[in-house]
């Protein structure tokens, strides 16, 4: 599933092609996504995209009459291509622009979405989201206070979008390892000192991932149209049974919240 860095790289990739561009046509080839695509999305036709924003894992195309909300789901991607290029299988939604480009949402599993947000309002999917992880609104003292008396494992706690948005499974695994925190530990038993080390690590890990993804933006609008997905040197995620890169102990795996959780029993306490 695309996580926050991949979605941010998508935002960075599509922005030069769609910002300040007039939408000449909206084509909904298959409106049966995670939620039915509302006819309100057609309101974008004839209007200029005035902003491209990311909120959590959602992308918003702003115009004077409202905003189109896009989510990539588990398998979706956005491509910027020539408007004349033939559709690919699973190209469900496309926005045609006056500059001759098309922005297409491709989603084989149709778990993504395309919704509408009226001006001056906040869509219910966005209304209860916590702070963005790379902003000053996400800080250790607040997270510490929110964690008090919480018996949920700290990994599940930090992946709760009401606490902070966008800390998905990969980056939760990696950040907990770097911070030396056992992902199974109850959130309420993590000290303020540990959170003061942990929160900056989350920020650095996400920022580094975005930077690495950004290096592929030059290829964003090429024939494959892929939005800068990137390979990283992962320390624990996906490395069950392999040696820890720090102490050489065998990495363990458990399931927390139905998610694969890999950690080092020696380095993480």
Residue numbering of the annotated binding site for DNA: 90, 109, 150
Alpha helices in the chain (DSSP H): 4-18, 124-127, 140-147, 154-158, 169-179, 192-214
| Active-site entry in 11, 57, 104, 178 | 57
Task: Please identify which residue in the block is written with the tokens 């996906």.
Answer: 238
User: Residue 28 pairs with which residues in a beta bridge?
Assistant: 93
223 Cβ neighbours under 8 A, 6+ residues apart:
none
Quick check: 119 and 143 in contact, CB under 8 A?
no
Going by the annotation, the residues of the binding site are: 90, 109, 150
Catalytic member of 2, 5, 153, 227:
2
**2: annotated active-site residue:** yes
Residue 240 a catalytic site member: no
Nearest to 190, CA basis, from 269, 137, 126, 248: 269
57 is catalytic: yes
10: which 2 tokens?
Answer: 């998508």
Residues that are catalytic: 2-3, 57, 259
């Amino acid at each position: 599933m695309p996580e926050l860095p991949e979605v941010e790289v998508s935002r960075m990739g599509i922005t030069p092609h769609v910002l300040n561009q007039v939408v000449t046509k909206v084509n909904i080839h298959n409106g049966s996504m995670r939620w039915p695509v509302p006819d309100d999305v057609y309101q974008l036709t004839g209007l200029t995209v005035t902003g491209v924003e990311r909120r959590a894992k959602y992308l918003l195309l702003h115009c004077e009459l409202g905003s189109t909300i896009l989510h990539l789901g588990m398998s979706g991607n956005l491509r910027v291509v020539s408007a004349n290029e033939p559709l690919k299988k699973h190209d469900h939604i496309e926005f045609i622009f006056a500059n001759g480009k098309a922005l297409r949402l491709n989603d084989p599993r149709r778990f993504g979405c395309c919704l509408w947000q009226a001006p001056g309002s906040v869509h219910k999917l966005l209304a209860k989201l916590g702070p963005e992880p790379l902003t000053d609104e996400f800080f250790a003292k607040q997270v510490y206070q929110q964690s008090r008396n919480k018996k949920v494992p700290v990994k599940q706690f930090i992946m709760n979008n009401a606490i902070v948005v966008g800390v998905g499974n990969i980056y939760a695994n990696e950040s907990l390892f770097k911070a030396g925190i056992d992902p199974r530990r109850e959130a309420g038993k993590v000290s303020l000192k540990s959170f003061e080390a942990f929160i900056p690590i989350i920020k650095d890990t996400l920022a580094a991932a975005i930077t690495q993804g950004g290096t592929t933006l030059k290829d964003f609008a090429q024939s494959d149209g892929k939005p800068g997905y990137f390979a990283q040197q992962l320390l624990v995620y996906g490395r069950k049974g392999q040696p820890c890169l720090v102490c050489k102990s065998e990495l363990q795996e458990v399931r927390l919240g139905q998610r694969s959780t890999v950690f080092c029993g020696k380095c993480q306490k």
